[in-house]
Chains A and B, each alone.
Chain A
Amino acid sequence: MSNEAALIEAARNGSAAAFTDLVSAYREGLLRFLLTRSSSFADAEDALQDTLINAYRYLHSYDARWRFSTWLYRIAINNAARMKSVDTVELGDLSDDGDGPLRQCIAASERENLWLSARRSLTDEVYAAMWLRYVEDMSIKDISAVLERSVSWTKVNLMRGRKTLDAEFNKVATDEKSKAYG
C-alpha cells in the first residue's frame, strides 16, 4: 500500500492528523488556484477550508481509480462556483482592472503575468482546464473528470486556450523586442 493510500485509509477511519498530512502537499496549489476564481483573498481561504472539510467528511466516496488531486480539485471547483453564485463582492475587494486578488499576489515584474491575461480572455472552465494542464500536470482524462466534460471538449478547449494565450505571449515578446531595439 502506498503512503497516500495508507493516509487515506487512516483518514477514513477518523484520523484528522492523517488527513492533514495527506492534503499538505496540495494545500498551496489549491489556494493559488482558488485565488484565481475568487473575488477576494478571504474568499479563497474560505473556499480552501470548505474544500478540505468536505473532502474529509466525504472521503468514503473517493474512488481510488482516480488521482487524489483530481478528486480534490473537483470539490474545489464546486465550492468556488457555489461561493461565486451566492457571494456579493465587497467594496474593498473591487479593483480597477477587475483582476481581483490575483494581481495583488503576483510578484512585480516587467512582463504581465500570463494568468492575468488568461483571467481576462478565457472563460472559467477553459481557464481551469489550462491551469490543471500546465500547472498541475494533469492528464486530459483527469481534467475532463474534474470539469465533468468529455475528453474531446477538453482537448478542443485546451487548444483554443493555448491559441489565445499564445497570441498574448507572442504579442508581449514582440513588444519587448521592439522596446529593446528602440
Chain B
Amino acid sequence: MDKLAKQLRDDAHRIECSVSEELDDRIRASLESTQPEAGQRIRRESKSFSFWWASSLTGVAAAIAMIAFINLQVPDPGLVATESNPQPLVIPTVQWHTETAVLTSPLEQEFEDLQADLKKAEEAVKQDIDRLF
C-alpha cells in the first residue's frame, strides 16, 4: 500500500462516528414494521411468460386468418397485367482529359503525424492507469 492510500485509510478511521443506541432502536423498530417484498419478481416473470404465450397465439391466429382471406379472394378480371415498354436510357459520356491535382498530400501527412501522436499519448495514459490499478 502506498503512502497516500495508507493516509486516506487512516484519515477515514479518524472520522469519529458511531450508530447511537437511539438510532439503533429506531432502525430496529422500522425493520420490524417492514415486510420484505419477497417473490414478487418470480410472480412477475410467470405473468409475463403466460402473456407471451397468449400474444403469440393471437398473432399466429391473425396471420392464418389473413393468409386464408387473401388466398380465397377471386382475382379481378378487369385487372390485366400489361407488359412495360421501357425506353432505352441513353447516358451521354463526356471525355475529360484532366490530371488529378495532388493538393492534399501535405495535409494527409500532417493528419498521419497527429494520429501517431495521439496513439502514443493514449498508450502512455493506459500504461499509467495499468501501473496504478
Give me the interface of A with B, judged by CB distance under 8 Å: 11-14, 16, 19-20, 27-28, 31-32, 35-36, 41, 44-45, 48-49, 52-53, 56-61, 102, 105-107, 109, 113-115, 130-131, 134-135, 140, 155-156, 158-159, 162, 165-166, 169
Total contacts A to B, CB within 8 angstroms?
Answer: 110
Decide: B15 and A11 in contact? CB cutoff 8 A: no
**Is B53 an interface residue, CB under 8 A from the partner?**
no
Q: B22's closest neighbor in chain A, by CB?
A: A45
A interface secondary structure, majority = helix
**A109–B9 alpha-carbon span in the complex (Å):** 15
- Find chain A residues with CB under 8 A from B32 CB: 16
Q: A49 CA to B132 CA in the complex, in Å?
A: 36
Q: Is B4 in the interface zone, CB < 8 Å from A?
A: yes
| Contact between B31 and A130, CB atoms less than 8 A apart | no
Q: Is the beta-carbon distance between B23 and A45 smaller than 8 angstroms? A: yes
For residue B31, which residues in chain A have a CB less than 8 angstroms away from its CB? Answer: 16, 19-20, 52-53, 56
Cβ contact within 8 Å between B11 and A113 = yes
Q: Quick one: which of B5, B8, B26, B39 contacts A49, CB cutoff 8 A?
A: B26
Q: Which of B24-59 contact A (CB under 8 A)?
A: 26-28, 30-32, 34-41
Q: How far is the CA of A156 from the CA of B133 in the complex (A)?
A: 10
Contact across chains for B132 and A105 when beta carbons are under 8 A apart: no
Query: How many of chain B's residues touch chain A, expressed as a range?
Result: 20 to 34
Inter-chain contacts of A159 with B (CB < 8 A):
128-129, 132
B12 touches A115 (CB 8 A): yes
Please determine whether B15 and A106 come into contact, CB atoms closer than 8 angstroms. Answer: yes
Q: B89 interface residue, CB < 8 Å from A?
A: no
User: Which of A13, A16, A115 has the most chain B CB within a 10 Å cutoff?
Assistant: A16
Q: Is the CB of A130 within 8 A of B28?
A: no
B14 touches A113 (CB 8 A): yes
Cα separation A49 to B27 with both chains bound (whole Å): 6
Tell me whether B7 is interfacial, beta carbon within 8 Å: yes
A20-B31, A60-B40, A105-B16 given; name 16 further pairs at CB < 8 Å. A12-B36, A13-B38, A19-B31, A27-B19, A32-B15, A32-B17, A35-B17, A36-B15, A52-B30, A57-B37, A60-B38, A109-B14, A131-B12, A159-B128, A165-B8, A169-B3
